[in-house]
Structure 1
Amino acid sequence: MFSLHSARLRTVLTGLALTGLAVTTAQGFASAAPAPVHERGAARASVVDTIEDGAARSLALSLADRAWQRQVSGALAQGKAVGLRGLTAGSATRGANGLGAHIAQADRQVADAKGLGADAGSLLQVRLVGAAAEGVEPLVASSPSDDNATVVVAYDSAGKAYELAADHAPDRPVYLVDVDTDKATEAGLKVLRDELAAAGLQAPAAAPVNTAAAATGYWTTRVTAVTVSDVKEPWFKGAAEIFDLVTGFGLDGKVRVDTVTMPYLDDENKTYYPNQILVNWSLYKYNLADVVMMEDDGDTNYSALAKAIAAVLLTITDQGAYIPLANAVIDAMPASWWTDDPDYVDSWYTLATTTTGTRTGAAGNGKMTFDRYYVSAL
């Protein structure tokens, strides 16, 4: 699994040998403070980074309870991510009991940092990187949100910190704490849609607004194949969730933004054949629309993203002819977000009702093949 990124966001990660760096040993879960920012290879430490790092250190300290350590090892043996809150709730060990309250609080803090609200549920998860080895105690690390981090800080059960090279997989097992992006993106896009709708940028799409189209059916642009390249994904990244912002002018003449998710986009340079509807033309005034492809790998604040986009798009009015909107969406994002937050992947300008065939995105990072597809009325 990986995170997709534009070439403008990428730099080559420098090599660092695996070294040990002792720091203060925490005496309990309450004192499991996150590592200083400089210990992340001078990378920008976001709010979510800080929360994840504290959760990782607390998990590491809890593994001093060998009964709990064996349970965690068994749960992660298959290499699949496991929710931390569920993992602690399902154990009666001393280590799990001490950790549970910290993880519950960290989940609430992550939800708040991502603008998801109190009903987002459990978001922090843990997975095994590398193979477990008998007699080798796994370290516990969190995934930095910045792909350009040169080191990943990990902890052992005594609270000692180590710097792991970010440019190659570690030579010992590591439990990696990060955000469940599947769950976070689902909740986040709902926030995005709700806030855009509240701003008048997304009319309800349960049925076509065009009454004639509703009676007979309507034309769509469908994605029959999609490929994204240039990912250079570091080992510490988990799954990324891809979503598209489709922009155009609604039938009321106001700017409209629709969201389309592409959760199947997992591997670089692999072609997927989703046959997925991208644009419902019955919702748009003109026969042109733009598409901006983005991804969330843990750090996106969807409420802030919606407000930033709305603030720019609400200033654009219908001039009686189509105006490309992709640049406005991209420019709306604060400069700080380009480190890794909701990463720009690529964009496709002026898709038309007649667009067919394969088109490479403006950033040269993605290709999509389109066809016309008519959706008949029932």
Structure 2
Amino acid sequence: MNRTEKIVRGSLLSLWLVSATAFAQPIQQSGGSDVRSITDTVARDVAGLMAQPGFVESASSALQTGPENGVALQQVISHFDPQALTVVSRELSWKDQQLRERKGLPMQGPGLLQLRAYVPEGQSLADAAPGQLWVASLPRGNDRDWTTLTAYDAQGRAHLLDAKRAPDFPVLIVDVDTRRSVAEGMALVNAGLRERGLQSPERISIAANGASASLDITRLDRIRLADDQEPWALGAAEVFAVVSGLQVDKAEPEMVTVDMPYLDYENTDYTPQQALVIWGNYRFNAANVQLFEDDGDTNYQELLVALTTGVKTALGVFAPEYAVIADIAGAILKAMPSSWFANDIDYLDSFYLLQRGQAYTDRMGTANNAKVTLTPITLVE
């Protein structure tokens, strides 16, 4: 390394120390503590590490097998700074806890902050010059309305990138590990529904002679979402379903959430052979299925409140009649946080009054966004 290079490296290190200290202030002081505020703050933190010897190599190595899939940010930072000597390392766990709180998940648990990369075809993340690699966070609001997103360089300067036209250079992206958060969130919501008497135990049919038991299900054999031309910076989608109907022995809704972790991209056929509706708990042998996407902002405590208090309030007092089944699906949409539907951000589609024992081939949802093939099967013990 020549004298000029040493001077530049030393200057960058000084700038990073100043920037990292500034970026590490509590998120509340930055004007908000929502999910996007957290990921934006962390993106600036990570950008401050770009000029540090070894950080880009650590990030490139961690993302080597699948840059677009992402890796836990804690893993990258720990590999680069195992002694937690940097401000970023020391603050990361706290920010992960803040993110968990904003997502309505237990404060203690694996980190939800992740690092992904957009890499143009024919290029490699390892080819990017460390000092020239930018770190972006995703904007607020409906992704279909995004025009720009902000990326930060090693000196803390902000750069605007076109949200619709992908750059011709690699970009790191800090966002939420929605695959992990959806899995935890579905478990939390289902447990809350059971505690509140809005989700029944599985009703298994026993043969008259007691020799066998059976369970009827509707299996999801194929699903496809329409191509919505999402921005280049978005990663894989994380979709979940809410299955609803009337309880068998009470005038109460029956609801369950179902994680669909395989449903990553639009305009793609998936064949999960997943148990979607487990029958026996639905009066009139009919149920609704509604699809939602977690874009990273979903608070699962709010979702639980929406599916319990919100749905019951929207329904009011009702007689357990067949027509109410579709009303329950409408009440679910009405009870969801209004931000979910301001620009159709999270709601994907609905399938009303699916019947027990009925097969459906290439059935379109009411929003014409999802197409499914469903098969009725009976599991015998």
Report the TM range for the smaller structure's normalisation. Answer: 0.7 to 0.9
Structure 2: gaps spanning 5 or more residues? 1-14, 26-31
Q: Which residue of 2 aligns with 1:144?
A: 139
Q: Distance in 1 between matches of 2:344 and 2:108?
A: 22
SS in 2 for 1:274: coil
Residue 223 of structure 1 aligns with an amino acid whose one-letter code is L
The residue aligned with 1:195 is 192
Structure 1 position 168 matched with structure 2 position 165: yes
Residues 289 and 150 (structure 1), Cα distance of their counterparts in 2 relative to 1, 3 Å cut: same
Partner of 2:376: 372
1:121 is the counterpart of 2:110 = yes
Which is worse superposed, 309-318 or 153-162? 309-318
Q: Secondary structure at the match of 2:354?
A: strand
Q: Report how far residue 310 of structure 1 moved.
A: 1.0
Determine if the alignment matches structure 1 residue 357 to structure 2 residue 333.
Answer: no
Alignment of 1:97 onto 2:94? no
Q: Is the contact made by 1:58 and 1:99 (CA closer than 8 Å) also made in structure 2?
A: yes
Shift in Å at residue 346 of structure 1? 0.3
Q: How many angstroms does 1:70 deviate by?
A: 2.8
Instruction: Give unpaired runs (5+ residues) of structure 1.
Output: 1-23, 35-44
CA radius of gyration, larger in: 2
1:144 CA drift (Å):
2.4
Matched, 1:82 2:46: no
1:110 matched to 2:99: yes
State whether residues 210 and 251 of structure 1, in contact with CA within 8 Å, keep that contact through their aligned partners in structure 2: no
Q: Give the drift of 1:196.
A: 1.8
Retained in 1: the 8 A contact 2:186–2:258? no
Tell me how large the CA RMSD over aligned residues is. Answer: 2.7
> What SS does the aligned partner of 1:101 have?
helix
Q: Compute the displacement of 1:368 (Å).
A: 0.8
- Residue 220, structure 1, aligned to residue 217, structure 2: yes
Match of 2:19 in 1: 28
Cα 1:296–1:341 shift into 2, 3 Å: farther
CA gap 1:305/1:169 in 2 versus in 1, 3 angstroms: same
Task: Note the alpha carbon deviations across 1:228-262, whole angstroms, 9 max, x for none.
Answer: 11321111111221111000112232211012222
* Equivalent residue letter for 1:144: P
Shift in Å, 1:298: 1.0
249, 261, 264: which one aligns with 1:263: 261
Aligned partner of residue 225 in structure 1, secondary structure: strand
* Structure 1 residue 142, shift from structure 2 partner: 1.1
2:37 aligned with 1:50 = yes
Which segment drifts farther, 181-190 or 194-203? 194-203
- Residue type of the alignment partner of 2:167: P
**2:293 corresponds to which residue?**
295
What is the aligned partner in structure 1 of residue 278 from structure 2?
Answer: 280
Q: CA deviation at 1:210?
A: 5.9
Task: Tell me what 2:237 maps to.
Answer: 240
Q: How much does 1:303 deviate?
A: 0.7
Amino acid at match of 2:55: W
Pick 1 or 2: higher relative contact order, CA cutoff 8 A, min separation 6: 1
AA of the residue aligned to 1:61: G
Q: Which moved more, 1:355-364 or 1:94-103?
A: 94-103
Which stretches of structure 1, 4 residues or longer, exceed 4 Å deviation after superposition? 93-96, 209-215, 339-342
Q: 1:333 aligns with which of 320, 333, 336?
A: 336
TM-aligned CA deviation for residue 141 of structure 1: 0.7
CA distance in 1, matches of 2:97, 2:249: 39
Amino acid at match of 1:329: I
Once residues 156 and 95 of structure 1 are traced to their aligned partners in structure 2, the CA distance between those partners, rounded to angstroms, is 22
Task: Write the deviation string for residues 151-200 of structure 1: whole angstroms up to 9, x where unpaired.
Answer: 11011111111000100111222110011111111111111112222222
Taking the aligned partners of 1:224 and 1:93, their CA distance within structure 2 comes to: 45
Matched, 1:64 2:59: no
Contact 1:129 1:175 in 2 (8 A): yes
Pair 184,337 (structure 1): closer, same or farther in 2 beyond 3 Å:
same
Tell me if the contact between 2:19 and 2:155 (Cα under 8 Å) persists in the aligned partners: no
Change in Cα spacing, 1:302 to 1:211, as seen in structure 2 (3 Å) is farther
Q: Is residue 134–residue 152 contact of structure 2 (8 Å, CA) maintained in 1?
A: yes
Assess, with a 3 A threshold, how the Cα gap between structure 1 residues 203 and 349 changes in structure 2: closer, same or farther.
same
Equivalent position amino acid for 1:299 in 2: D
Tell me if the contact between 1:296 and 1:341 (Cα under 8 Å) persists in the aligned partners: no
Is the contact made by 1:300 and 1:341 (CA closer than 8 Å) also made in structure 2? no
TM-score, length of structure 2 as denominator length: 0.82
State the one-letter code of the partner of 1:231.
Answer: D
Task: For residue 226 of structure 1, give the secondary structure of its aligned residue in structure 2.
Answer: strand
Contact 2:47 2:135 in 1 (8 A): yes
TM-score in terms of structure 1 length: 0.83
**For residues 33 and 327 of structure 1, do their structure 2 counterparts lie closer, same or farther at Cα, with a shift above 3 Å needed?**
farther
**In the alignment, structure 1 residue 183 sits paired with structure 2 residue 187:** no
User: Matched residue pairs, number?
Assistant: 343
The answer (yes or no) to whether the contact 1:178–1:238 under 8 Å persists in 2 is no
Is 1:292–1:348's contact at 8 Å kept on the other side of the alignment? yes
